[in-house]
């Protein structure tokens, strides 16, 4: 009976090795025993067939009411598996590059675009470039992260880009699920080193020695960068029309980035909250001399300074004032935000000054404790001493 059933399933008499194997085993399947079956609930005289079969190294269970149904399910299972194996597969490198050029690159900022491309070129394509999307497993992804050195934040960026690519593959129907989202995957690495702020003594030294700086533009730059919680790209984006000397206000309206080395890109500030007006320092006011047209950049004139020009300027400032450490723009932003919070305990003020969307970001990334020892025990001592 089973042999006849399997023969009816073979289409057009095709010579199929798997079905031939099934046919060769038909005598065994027809001569089943109770060991091959399971008793149906409430009926000791009726049996269901439940057998394990191995196809391409994978064990699968088939349950049927009779041999005819079993044969049909077995053939259907083979047909599905065979078709799945013969489906056209998709090379990761080609798919990832198409995703990046078509869906990602045109819709993200240049700096973010460079970050994504860096993850593709440094890690993802060298690792998975020769593999097919359908063949990438959670084990493959874990091996990638195990082999990477450096900060955990770098691995998180790689996983983020890989996630987006594989999510797209799921949407296209190439894979059923995204292996990068497996709960088995564990990412470890060095903790991100946050930017250190300058000490109070260092800041006093810099401010007290501004007059020693020879170049007027250098002098004006340190007065703006060191005394305000601005990103470097916001400082470079300042135009003379953004500085209200009478109202003592700085209007942050744009930013200048350099995604392609030293070619500036003028754009909107980083977030909606970044577009803000902050108070202009009275100390800085002494060094700001309006020498340009309203739409000219304070640092650069018709074309904003490049990062290379900023590095050279910081080097000159360090040399002119005899400062022992490097003059680093990002450290001033961290320092000023730390000082604002330390002197006011007003996190909302610090957040607004920084141009952050949330206060949590300001606290986590920019407000630092200059003391190496966290002075917590003295607070507890005082609390309990008062009760004695």
Average pLDDT for residues 89-107, to the nearest whole number?
94
The answer to whether the CB of 252 falls within 8 A of the CB of 234 is yes
Count of C-beta atoms within a 10 Å radius of residue 335: 25
pLDDT confidence bin for 305, thresholds 50/70/90: very high
Most confident of 81-85, 192-196, 240-244, 383-387: 240-244
Q: How is residue 247 written in tokens?
A: 């109202």
Q: List, in sequence order, every residue forming a beta bridge with 231; answer none if it has no partner.
A: none
Q: How confident is the model at residue 73 (pLDDT cuts 50, 70, 90)?
A: confident
- Burial class for 250, CB neighbours closer than 10 Å (0-12, 13-18, 19+): buried
DSSP string, 171-227: HTTS-SS-GGG-TT-----BPP-PPPPPPHHHHHHHHHTGGG--SHHHHHHHHHHTT
Whether the pLDDT of residue 44 is over 80: the answer is: no
More confident of the two residues 177 and 372: 177
Task: Indicate the pTM of the whole model.
Answer: 0.63
Q: Could you read off the pLDDT of 313-367 as tens digits, one per residue?
A: 999 999 999 999 999 999 999 999 999 998 999 999 999 999 999 999 888 888 8
Q: Residue 382's pLDDT is what? A: 72
């Amino acid at each position: 009976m089973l042999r006849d059933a399997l023969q009816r399933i073979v289409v057009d008499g095709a010579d199929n090795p798997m079905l031939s194997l099934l046919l060769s085993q038909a005598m065994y399947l027809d001569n089943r025993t109770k060991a091959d079956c399971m008793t149906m609930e409430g009926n000791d005289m009726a049996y269901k067939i439940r057998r394990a079969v191995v196809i391409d190294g994978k064990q699968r269970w088939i349950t049927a009411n009779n041999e005819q149904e079993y044969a049909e399910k077995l053939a259907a299972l083979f047909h599905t598996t065979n078709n799945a194996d013969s489906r056209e597969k998709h090379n990761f490198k080609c798919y990832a590059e198409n995703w990046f050029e078509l869906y990602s690159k045109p819709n993200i900022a240049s700096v973010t675009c460079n970050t994504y491309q860096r993850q593709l070129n440094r890690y993802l394509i060298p690792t998975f470039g020769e593999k097919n999307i359908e063949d990438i497993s959670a084990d493959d992804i874990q091996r990638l992260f195990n082999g990477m050195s450096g900060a955990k934040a770098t691995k998180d960026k790689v996983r983020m880009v890989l996630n987006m690519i594989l999510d797209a593959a799921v949407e296209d129907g190439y894979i059923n699920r995204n292996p990068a989202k497996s709960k088995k995957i564990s990412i470890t690495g060095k903790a991100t080193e946050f930017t250190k702020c300058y000490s109070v003594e260092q800041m006093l030294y810099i401010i007290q020695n501004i007059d020693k700086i020879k170049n007027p533009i250098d002098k004006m730059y340190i007065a703006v960068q060191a005394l305000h919680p601005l990103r470097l790209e916001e400082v470079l984006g300042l135009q003379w029309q953004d500085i209200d000397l009478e109202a003592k206000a700085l209007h942050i309206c744009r930013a200048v980035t350099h995604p392609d080395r030293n070619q500036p890109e003028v754009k909107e500030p980083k977030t909606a909250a970044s577009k803000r007006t902050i108070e202009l320092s009275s100390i800085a006011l002494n060094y700001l001399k309006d020498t340009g047209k309203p739409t000219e950049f304070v640092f650069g004139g018709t074309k904003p300074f490049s990062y290379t020009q900023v590095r050279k300027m910081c080097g000159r400032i360090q040399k002119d004032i005899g400062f022992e450490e490097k003059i680093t723009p990002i450290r001033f932003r961290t320092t000023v935000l730390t000082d604002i919070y330390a002197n006011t305990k007003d996190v909302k003020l610090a957040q607004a000054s920084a141009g952050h969307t949330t206060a949590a970001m300001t606290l986590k990334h920019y407000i630092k404790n200059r003391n190496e020892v966290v002075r917590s025990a003295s607070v507890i001592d005082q609390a309990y001493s008062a009760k004695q």
